[in-house]
Amino acid sequence: MKSRAEKKIADRMARFGLEYFLPTIKVMRQWSDRRKLVEVPLFNGYMFVRVTPEEFTTVRMVEGVVNFVKMEGKYAILRDEQLEAIRTFVATGLPVAAAPADFAPG
C-alpha cells in the first residue's frame, strides 16, 4: 500500500466490509513551534487483512492497495497467535525502536 496513506486505506477497507488490522503506536513528533504525541502505523506501508479467496479481488480494488506480501512466491500468511502477539504488544504502549536488519534483494 502507499506509505503514509494507511489510515485512509483502512477507512476504505471498512467501507468494503473487509476485516483488517492496522497496528499503530504513539510517538513524539517535534515541529519548530511544538511537540506532539501522534499515532503512526507500526509498519509503514503495511496492514494486515483477513480475506477469503473471493475477497482477494475486492482488496486489490481498494484505492491505495498495491499488492499482498509474498514469500517464496506464495502469499504470506500469519497465524492468529502472531497477530495476537502484535495486538498485545501495541496495547502495552511501550516505546518501539527499529533494529538494523540486513536484507538481501528478492
pLDDT in tens, 23-74: 999 988 898 999 999 999 999 999 999 999 899 999 999 999 999 999 999 9
At residue 82, φ and ψ (nearest 5 deg) are: -70, -45
Q: What is the pLDDT of residue 105?
A: 77
pLDDT in tens, 67-90: 999 999 999 999 999 999 999 999
pTM score of the predicted model: 0.82
Q: What is the pLDDT of residue 106?
A: 65
Show the domains of the chain with their CATH numbers.
6-92 (3.30.70.940)
List for the chain the helix, strand, coil content (%; round to 5). Answer: 30, 25, 45
Q: How far apart are CA 44 and CA 27, in angstroms?
A: 13
Q: What is the pLDDT of residue 71?
A: 92
